Structure 1
């Protein structure tokens, strides 16, 4: 009996498991343990950590290169759109993550993974999607900038608040590590802003080069993770995680658009805020989960943000298709045309 209880023990409550780099992580679903054994060698684990850190730094410099000081000042002088977007970002997504974790009765470690994803700021993907949906690009970039800066305080605060609903997590979430990680990513972002401000021609070159470097790093990291984790990657493809990954961006997109509609923002701003709300900084989530939690604790769950990213892209694609159909088939207003003809001299 004692041996059986030890095998089923929660890894969060076992201090020894936090110190083990090459360990077994047993999990078949989000709310059950045992059967699935995961093992990653220390060399592969460290290599993945290095690649994630480097790729995140490059991504943040590239993100900073898209930010213009003048446009940021303009939106801060008229902060209505930015304030509504931040309300949606840090109000809707963390609450959605908490509610879904409760509804699906997630285990403690699975719950904290979903909460970190829900409490994270927006990323550069939201800028691309806002552009494709004919949104307000200036608002999108300023919103991404502000959410990244505010994440330094908001992300740990929201995690602390929502972790109150999971007593076992109170002493297990590495708040200090998360704050340090958020602070460090602001440095390359600031470097990117300076490059764009003083050397705008160099910022364009850097964005092109960084895209190629990022593609290589993501490919190599994916191969290393596949080799290191193997079939256990199927853990994050369980019905529970797939359902949460599908619902979270849908809730974010929907409530982002609804909230901005209540405040009567322009259509372009509504679409922008919808994207900014539903799109999380997946790369930041993965890096925080991988570096802040030992592999003994997190196992393959640090890949959950990738599943989330897949669904946020698919759902954004559906919204793009609906927008195109609406614009193509919407009835044209004849009043303006007839009034123009009537105004012509006979």
Structure 2
């Protein structure tokens, strides 16, 4: 399937989209780094419960979910690699926005994103190697060198952002706002270019099995993340945060890896998979946010009990005439 696929983009358009993808990733990771504070990272390292949950949730639940769905839907080798790469990606900064909308613990959200991003450099190749053993003739199909290069491209700007926030904090908010603005404009530009060129064919070139995986994977991540945090006896804020942090993958990184690590002849139409995944990832998170907001509105407010102060009779006698 991949070898016979002809890219719908012209060479110039394909280069433009690849360039925009890398720029978006670079800007996103610098902006993400600017939200990270060294002191908070150290505090969570000293008390590593949140870090432990982050590692188990991100690199335990999602890769296993991707592997299980690839087996259940009987995906072909290249499709399985694409889904596994997506499942092994660290959490994305989109999860921070969702956590904010769900009134979650923002410090925990940022630390979880930070930890999963840093650990991805070692965990992604390791997890891909382990899970690829479960598929015949798949271990040699994973371009570990290309994936490592893409991960270094991700961590370098993140480290720059952390350094700016640590040594020049007055510039952090400016960079974050500018980064989000540029990210929004570039995302719209890529969406328009892709929409004009591809149109509705994205639903045709990708198999129903892949669309089913893209639909189920983030939803399972959200649910299992919430269950895991409940097992660890976290409060409501932390449960919602861990839930979205688990289900949200760094789709910009996934797209960059597919672009950098695979040739168009090998990856074929599968480079469009992250586009489908982020639609379901965002749509399902939006649905959860709407349900949470409705629940908040319908939930009866707790009325404060009146407090009565005892009067000391001796004190009253002293104040008397």
TM (norm. structure 2) is 0.90
Aligned to 1:63: 32
Measured at CA, do residues 298 and 235 of structure 1 come closer, stay the same or move farther in structure 2, by a change above 3 Å? farther
Aligned to 2:75: 106
What is the distance in 2 between the residues matched to 1:332 and 1:208? Answer: 35
What is the distance in 2 between the residues matched to 1:247 and 1:76? Answer: 33
Aligned to 2:314: none
Aligned to 1:171, the other structure's residue is in SS state helix
List per-residue Cα deviations over 1:29-65 (Å, max 9, x = no partner). Answer: xxxxxxxx54443332222222211211111101101
Aligned to 1:310: 279
Contact map agreement 1:236 1:304 (CA 8 A) in 2: no
Contact map agreement 2:206 2:270 (CA 8 A) in 1: no
What is the distance in 2 between the residues matched to 1:270 and 1:85? Answer: 12
Aligned to 2:317: none
What is the distance in 1 between the residues matched to 2:98 and 2:254? Answer: 19
Measured at CA, do residues 228 and 166 of structure 1 come closer, stay the same or move farther in structure 2, by a change above 3 Å? farther
Aligned to 1:211: 180
Aligned to 1:135: 104
Map 1:251-330; keep pairs closer than 5 Å.
Answer: 251-330=220-299
Is the deviation greater in 190-199 or in 217-226? 217-226
TM (norm. structure 1) is 0.84
List per-residue Cα deviations over 1:183-240 (Å, max 9, x = no partner). Answer: 2211110111111112222111112222222233223333444455565422366432
List per-residue Cα deviations over 1:267-311 (Å, max 9, x = no partner). Answer: 111111111100000111011111211111112211211221111
What is the distance in 1 between the residues matched to 2:47 and 2:38? Answer: 15
What is the distance in 1 between the residues matched to 2:212 and 2:100? Answer: 27
Cα distance, 1:93 vs. partner?
0.5
Aligned to 2:53: 84
What is the distance in 1 between the residues matched to 2:158 and 2:298? Answer: 42
Is the deviation greater in 264-273 or in 217-226? 217-226
> For 1:164, which of 117, 123, 133 is the aligned residue?
133
Aligned to 1:198: 167
How many aligned positions are there? 311
Contact map agreement 1:81 1:269 (CA 8 A) in 2: no
Q: Which structure is larger by alpha-carbon Rg, 1 or 2?
A: 2
What is the distance in 2 between the residues matched to 1:280 and 1:312? Answer: 8
What is the distance in 1 between the residues matched to 2:24 and 2:93? Answer: 13
What is the distance in 2 between the residues matched to 1:279 and 1:131? Answer: 14
Report whether the alignment pairs 1:187 with 2:156. Answer: yes
Is the deviation greater in 270-279 or in 45-54? 45-54
What is the distance in 1 between the residues matched to 2:266 and 2:105? Answer: 41
Contact map agreement 2:133 2:139 (CA 8 A) in 1: yes
Contact map agreement 2:150 2:260 (CA 8 A) in 1: no
What is the distance in 2 between the residues matched to 1:321 and 1:224? Answer: 30
Gaps of at least 5 residues in structure 1 are 1-7, 12-23, 26-36
What is the distance in 2 between the residues matched to 1:275 and 1:146? Answer: 15
Segments of 4+ moved more than 4 angstroms? 226-231
Measured at CA, do residues 122 and 101 of structure 1 come closer, stay the same or move farther in structure 2, by a change above 3 Å? same
Cα distance, 1:170 vs. partner?
1.7
Cα RMSD for the two superposed structures: 2.0
What is the distance in 2 between the residues matched to 1:249 and 1:171? Answer: 27
Cα distance, 1:327 vs. partner?
2.4
Contact map agreement 2:247 2:281 (CA 8 A) in 1: yes
